[in-house]
Structure 1
């Protein structure tokens, strides 16, 4: 059966593709199996690769290195593109506190890693692998391996120690959440969780009864309030209209306003009275409010609009319409004049039907155009990322130059392009499904090769005292930083339990634990805080993996 040998045994390019694809397919299928309500997802590819390597399956070393490197680059660059738009905005308001707490988790784990490498027989390269496994952070492992290769130090030990400690790294965060809920969570913490995110868009109706603003224009009221809000509709004498910046407010006017929930009380004091009607329900028929006005969702697809500020388009003055909300990747944003628009943004336009149709022509609304991602921009971004990763950085106290490598360079360029690309009128838009596809392919290739490389010695290592020590140290690196910063967040920082869990999962780069938190905690606070902390935490861990090895090796 020569054809079987050609596919699975002989070290050729064809055999490498077949083996890697087979490991990825089997791992993805098994990753959907839920045990105790928890599934490992793409992470299971890692363990299938370990089993394949244990039973003697192998591929050519150069092909393995190529597939592993390309998969890592594709994954971290796509990750950077995804988190880029929210990376810098995550520092606003409560995001600063969440990110500081997340950095505390990272700092404790890193300090423990350096200390344990000094007081135990485990060398720093293996301890860094233990840390990457304990924090389920494969991009950091990739960065560590790149640094070790630059220094001429074998990186096999780091990959092997990561593989050994990874399973308990997954369940350790979940166990810490259970411990915190049992020992430290008070009823008020859970109540705060159920209240939801106070910074998401909030729609409310107000009546103008404050004599201090009678006769003032909308522009003047916005200037003295210092609060971002958008007036979607104005009722006066039984008629509905779209107010402009020059519209003067009169006593008894009813205003439909889009703002944030935390600002609703301040706006009540500004205008005079808030009505009790709930305008935030999903089944509100906006087109039934007035027969002359319609509300339509329009997708921005014209390249000329990409990177422009909403106020610069002057849509309200030119067409007599109002944009009440903007949705970006499913997240509602306030339609303020300073908001920079991007390809793929979905705007809610309110106005008379002919005017809305004219605005539709201006913005595009050709959703078919979004189904074709800009492939050239993706490859150009990868090239720039690799170029940045290859630049030698000379830091004080380090003889060898630091390079961001295959993991650090592409993730930095991905974040920068995802953040500033639209402002430079670069078309970097990819649909969420396309981004997930690129990330999934890259991560599964990387994990398959990583597991295949570590599998030959995995079980022998686990059975040795050295392997048992790795497992114990890894479990400590998972549990202790999470419990310490969880206590600080709940007791000292007065963070609610849901936000605390999301922050800890983001700092540990553990989406499996986040899934458990979402299933057991009401509200979306875990997901919101996870998304706030994850970008910076991922970036810092990738960079720290290299800096620690260079400074303390």
Structure 2
């Protein structure tokens, strides 16, 4: 077993660190699945296993060496720093790609109010943290003020369960504190983060339960109200029906003219005249008695019927199944050239004599409006002859295998550009140090921009949901394991020297803002309770809280609230992590 002992006792061997990280991550993920009171910490448990491993390592391997391993440990620190920072970059960039396509859409309609409430919650988190810092730790002239502020920042991000924010803060600390006499290169704010995190998960869920009882909310009533209000989004869900042209005012006009006249949008997938079915074009002229097979958004149905004539009580499926000449198929958008184009740009009806009636994206079925912008991975429902549908297939690709192939080159190009973006100094009046987005903020912002606008520059960064999730999880566990192993050296000293204060302070940072904003959202904004639960979970970027909300609601309301505020919340959490330190450390 000498070979194994050699690997374990030599911290600079690649196999040594590989074993350490593999063990920490495997055990952390395994233990993270255990539930206590229906709550599990998930992959975040990797951090705590890393702390334990780091503590045991420094106690039984490093300490007995009496400084003989100093050089080896310095080299090991450099390697671990690279692993955890690369993991963080991979994690936040993939988050950016995921939320980018819908990032700016979250500011439409009710999303503005929800994001304002989420922003207020973030500001209150910071305010409570600073109040506790100045009341408990700050003393004029104390050389530990800067270090204590850094530790309280770690507490803040443990209290809001936001790991990328911890990474952003940790990333700039050496630059801010490296020249301070009180700065110990081995000190790690991951210790205070770890102190605050476990109770924060309980606090987030407990606060949402407290809001329920304070406001005397009935879960059954909330579920019924949400179901009634959200049975279907009338502006996007497609509806099929058959009507007969009987309005003499439209006779003699083309479908294109009717599209220009009516406020609502619609697709006429097929038409029947004198018993013969055909695929209509935009130039097709309306004739009295003609049957039209219409697909439109639910909200536009009545307007279309009023314009055309009379609704027929005929079964769409039975009518179309008997017509063998025309078929309906689902095609997958897999060609990068189509990414970002609209149906108006593609001219499927006029050029290929087919009609697209609906689009399926991320499990949702949407009406295929002419200005609908396609994305890689969309499924489109096409109606026409088999020959014409095959011609459209050549345009959109329809190759699942092509989508499953990893776009590794573009992934690392995005990371490269994101790192450059993160290093650009941004001067802010009144702040001596320019602000940088850093290794956390730069890739996140670039990922969002590529996800939202990449199609305009012919950049295809599509990855399947499973691939994106895999990359994010790998990046996150590498970061958590690295932070944990390094924090393990000082964690127990932190706890013994007053670290328990970070526990109760973190709990207050968690609960007070949630109670204030949660009650305001419920009593003043009249938010559905399940949506509010998702909003709170999304603002704290906390998957365990979302899982609890989903289990409570048994509908998609929490997911709607979570996804509406999550993108902006993640961005603000990472940005404010740096602003707090950049602005306040020079002042204290």
Cα offset, 1:479, TM superposition: 1.4
Deviates further, 12-21 or 399-408? 12-21
Report the 3-state secondary structure (helix = DSSP H, G, I; strand = E; otherwise coil) of the residue aligned with 2:131.
helix
Report the 3-state secondary structure (helix = DSSP H, G, I; strand = E; otherwise coil) of the residue aligned with 1:426.
coil
Q: Does 1:147 align with 2:172?
A: yes
Q: Is the 8 A contact 1:325 1:332 kept in 2?
A: yes
How many angstroms apart in 1 are the aligned matches of 2:319 and 2:201?
Answer: 45
Q: Is the 8 A contact 2:46 2:477 kept in 1?
A: yes
- Matches for 1:219-230 after TM superposition, within 5 Å: 219-230=256-267
Alpha-carbon spacing, 1:550–1:316, altered in 2? closer, same or farther (3 Å): same
- Matches for 1:320-469 after TM superposition, within 5 Å: 320-464=353-497, 466-469=498-501
- Matches for 1:196-275 after TM superposition, within 5 Å: 196=230, 198-199=232-233, 201-206=236-241, 207=243, 211=247, 214-215=250-251, 217-233=254-270, 241-247=278-284, 253=291, 255-259=293-297
How many angstroms apart in 1 are the aligned matches of 2:414 and 2:438?
Answer: 15
Deviates further, 494-503 or 146-155? 146-155
The count of aligned residue pairs is: 547
Cα offset, 1:224, TM superposition: 4.5
Alpha-carbon spacing, 1:354–1:450, altered in 2? closer, same or farther (3 Å): same
**Partner of residue 301, structure 1:** 334
Question: Which of 189, 193, 196 is the matching residue for 2:222?
Answer: 189
Structure 2: unaligned runs, 5 residues or longer:
63-72, 139-147
Alpha-carbon spacing, 1:253–1:144, altered in 2? closer, same or farther (3 Å): same
Alpha-carbon spacing, 1:461–1:228, altered in 2? closer, same or farther (3 Å): farther
Q: Does 1:4 align with 2:1?
A: no
> Once the two structures are superposed, what CA deviation does each residue of 1:440-495 show, in whole Å capped at 9, x if it has no partner?
1100000011111122333443355x322211111111112222222222221122
Alignment RMSD, CA only?
A: 2.9
Q: Does 1:130 align with 2:168?
A: no
Question: Which of 521, 531, 538 is the matching residue for 1:499?
Answer: 531
How many angstroms apart in 1 are the aligned matches of 2:409 and 2:341?
Answer: 22
How many angstroms apart in 2 are the aligned matches of 1:529 and 1:289?
Answer: 44
> Once the two structures are superposed, what CA deviation does each residue of 1:289-312 show, in whole Å capped at 9, x if it has no partner?
743332211112223323333211
Alpha-carbon spacing, 1:338–1:201, altered in 2? closer, same or farther (3 Å): closer
Q: Does 1:473 align with 2:505?
A: yes
Report the 3-state secondary structure (helix = DSSP H, G, I; strand = E; otherwise coil) of the residue aligned with 1:457.
helix
> Once the two structures are superposed, what CA deviation does each residue of 1:6-44 show, in whole Å capped at 9, x if it has no partner?
333311122112211211111122222333333322111
Report the 3-state secondary structure (helix = DSSP H, G, I; strand = E; otherwise coil) of the residue aligned with 2:505.
helix
Structure label with greater radius of gyration: 2
Deviates further, 203-212 or 113-122? 203-212
Q: Does 1:522 align with 2:523?
A: no
Q: Is the 8 A contact 1:51 1:455 kept in 2?
A: yes
Deviates further, 105-114 or 201-210? 201-210
Q: Is the 8 A contact 2:89 2:439 kept in 1?
A: yes
**Partner of residue 119, structure 1:** 135
Deviates further, 401-410 or 480-489? 480-489
Cα offset, 1:431, TM superposition: 1.4
Question: Which of 173, 176, 195 is the matching residue for 1:164?
Answer: 195
How many angstroms apart in 2 are the aligned matches of 1:252 and 1:93?
Answer: 39
How many angstroms apart in 2 are the aligned matches of 1:27 and 1:10?
Answer: 23
Q: Is the 8 A contact 1:316 1:322 kept in 2?
A: yes
How many angstroms apart in 1 are the aligned matches of 2:318 and 2:24?
Answer: 50
How many angstroms apart in 2 are the aligned matches of 1:92 and 1:224?
Answer: 26
Cα offset, 1:128, TM superposition: 1.2
Cα offset, 1:266, TM superposition: 6.2
Q: Is the 8 A contact 2:240 2:293 kept in 1?
A: yes
Structure 1: unaligned runs, 5 residues or longer:
none
Deviates further, 240-249 or 433-442? 240-249
How many angstroms apart in 2 are the aligned matches of 1:310 and 1:124?
Answer: 54
**Partner of residue 98, structure 1:** 114
Q: Is the 8 A contact 1:306 1:422 kept in 2?
A: yes
Alpha-carbon spacing, 1:432–1:406, altered in 2? closer, same or farther (3 Å): same
How many angstroms apart in 2 are the aligned matches of 1:243 and 1:389?
Answer: 52
State the TM-score, normalized to the length of structure 1.
0.90
Alpha-carbon spacing, 1:240–1:49, altered in 2? closer, same or farther (3 Å): farther
**Partner of residue 29, structure 2:** 28
> Once the two structures are superposed, what CA deviation does each residue of 1:204-228 show, in whole Å capped at 9, x if it has no partner?
2454689596435444444444445
How many angstroms apart in 1 are the aligned matches of 2:380 and 2:581?
Answer: 47
Cα offset, 1:233, TM superposition: 4.8
